[in-house]
Amino acid sequence: MDGETVSKNFIENIIDEDIREGHTKEVVTRFPPEPNGYLHIGHAKSILLNYGLSEEYNGAFHLRFDDTNPTKEKNEFVDSIQKDVEWLGAKWEGEVRFASDYFPQMYEAAVKLIKKGKAYVSDLNAEQIREYRGTLTEPGKNDPNRDRSVEENLQLFEDMKAGKYEDGSMVLRAKIDMSSSNINMRDPILYRVAHISHHRTGDTWCIYPMYDFAHPIEDAIEGISHSICTLEFEDHRPLYNWVVTELEYEYPPKQIEFSKLYLEHVVTGKRYIKKLVETGIVDGWDDPRLVSLSGLRRRGFTPESIKKFCELVGVTKSQGAVEYPMLEYCIREDLKPKVKRMMAVLDPVKLVIDNYPEDQVEYMDVPNNQENEELGSRKVPFTKELYIEREDFMEEPVKKYFRMFPGNEVRLMSAYFVTCTGCEKDENGNVTVIHGTYDPETRGGNCNTRKVKGTIHWVSATEGKQVKARLYENIVDESKPVYDEETGEVNVNPTSLTEVCAVVEPELLHAEKEDRFQFVRNGYFVADLKDSEEGKPVFNRIVSLKSSFKLPTA
């Protein structure tokens, strides 16, 4: 609406001011993951924030891999991250970028700092460097190598690059201030020796830059205007600024920090997920019980639902955890008007309509979504023998039970009124068959002369099809902390996955991978991206239909 006041977050306010004051000509943002694992829901907030800002200000968005640590990085992770960013709808400008693209410039930047007297080579080992660094309450002390000459440092650094030193024997350090109250500024390491093959550059390099040195250089080279990162980098900002200032970039990027997205009762730690994968508790990093983006996609979450979730969480400096039901609320709200509402019976028991013609098949007209008439209707086969949910029959009903029990009449959804006449049981007393009679005058499930309180769904026993359906709960036992303090392992919920053989409408057999549906009264389901085959879909329950979660009121 014209004249409507739009509330902006604090990052937008900073950008607006930078544009007004002429510090920023074009807004350029980036998402810079390290390719050492799969992305999770927390990364989605960063991706959508950075991409959203580039869109809002008609700027550019870069996807760049910070591949400066070859010990943990793999092309497998590069591929999965790229797919996740694409799936969320974030479109990056140009080619995918890599920190390793800039290794030559980073080396030259280090040489420049040495020549300015702002960096030196140290032969202290890791333990000695820690000892010299001091503590939060005590200042550090100068490295014995701190006053080496520029010429000696240049030669030593060149020898490091030439492979003349073993891993851990030499480092290049910035010369800043060993008495700084910020430990990150106490002569941080810029380069280390590491004779490790890199997933992109192979054995070209045996020295690699540290993240805190590489990242501001990458941002500056790419013309990033605002380097937006999470709060744990706030104490690193002075070093970020020192690097871009000492290297004299004409348009230095500005680092801004925001709060991470923490979701309650979920596993996001890479080492914990790796263990769940290795022990076979989950079937991979994309298991639908995980909140990795690939897992959420297999579970059936949509990019739109994740975007809505991130919008509800908001962008602030204050840290706090978010309830998982908020994420479930977002997928329900997204799917409710979009998907067909189909009939599927997950725990079937047979219902025989004794007065229905033996071999007759009628096709009932069933609306696909009562809240969205544009989705139209479909024909569903109705026969003498049906399946209904076992919980929809009770031989001795409890108070206010309006479904099927002897003598009670119910509505079979979009079909007929049926009166239950009794049931058959096996030798253990389990109900095996329910019997009933139908009223032919109530076709379509409507009758003006009488009302029924119970409506249940059904599937033809002869025309329906069997499929595998997976019912998920949280991988974490929510009655306990996420991690066991003594063992360091995840407190796993033993009933996090239940597989059932469901009976579904014939149309559902034609579901393609990632097709989503509401299974009436049972929840929202998706045809699994990985295990579904043509004519043989496997359905994952995305979320149940109801939740106690409510949006907070303003």
| pLDDT by 10s per residue, the chain, length 554 | 444 556 789 999 999 999 999 999 999 999 999 999 899 999 999 999 999 999 999 999 999 999 999 988 889 999 999 999 999 999 999 999 999 999 999 999 999 999 999 999 999 999 999 999 999 999 999 999 999 999 999 999 999 999 999 999 999 999 999 999 999 999 999 999 999 999 999 999 999 999 999 999 999 999 999 999 999 999 999 999 999 999 999 989 999 999 999 999 999 888 899 899 999 999 999 999 999 999 999 999 999 999 999 999 999 998 888 999 999 999 999 999 999 999 999 999 999 999 999 999 999 999 999 999 999 999 999 999 999 999 999 999 999 999 999 999 999 999 999 999 999 999 999 999 999 999 999 998 787 778 899 999 999 999 999 999 999 999 999 889 898 888 888 999 999 999 999 999 999 999 999 999 999 999 999 999 999 999 999 999 999 998 767 776 54
Three-state SS string across 363-431, please? EEEEECCCCCHHHCEEEEEECCEEEEEHHHECCCCCCCCCCECCCCEEEECCCCEEEEEEEEECCCCCE
- What is the DSSP code (8-state) at residue 459? E
Superfamily of domain 262-335: Glutamyl-trna Synthetase; Domain 2 (1.10.1160.10)
HSE toward the beta carbon, residue 370, CA cutoff 13 A: 4
State the pLDDT at residue 3.
47
State the pLDDT at residue 553.
59
What's the CA dihedral at 87, 90, 93, 94 to 10 degrees? Answer: -10
Q: What is the distance between the alpha carbons of residues 26 and 159, in angstroms, rounded to a whole number?
A: 41
Structure token pair of residue 533 = 């085959």
Residue range 102-208 forms a domain whose CATH class is alpha beta
Strand partners, 97: 64
Say whether domain 340-543 belongs to CATH 3.40.190.80: no
Q: Kindly report the pTM of this predicted structure.
A: 0.92
Residues 6+ apart with CB under 8 A from 393: 349, 351, 403, 404, 405, 420, 423, 431, 434
Every domain of the chain with CATH number 2.40.240.10 lies at 340-543
State the pLDDT at residue 547.
73
State the pLDDT at residue 6.
62
Q: 210, 191 in Cβ contact below 8 A?
A: yes
State the pLDDT at residue 2.
46
Main-chain dihedrals φ then ψ at residue 25, nearest 5 degrees: -95, -40
State the pLDDT at residue 112.
98
Q: 434, 388 in Cβ contact below 8 A?
A: yes
Q: What is the largest CA-CA distance in the chain?
A: 102
Every domain of the chain with CATH number 3.90.800.10 lies at 102-208
Every domain of the chain with CATH number 1.10.1160.10 lies at 262-335
Residues 6+ apart with CB under 8 A from 513: 527, 528, 529, 532, 537
- Rounded to 10°, the helix 41-56/303-313 angle is 80
- Strand 516-519 to 340-342 pairing: parallel
State the pLDDT at residue 269.
86
State the pLDDT at residue 552.
66
Q: What is the distance between the alpha carbons of residues 133 and 142, in angstroms, rounded to a whole number?
A: 8
- Rounded to 10°, the helix 237-246/211-222 angle is 60
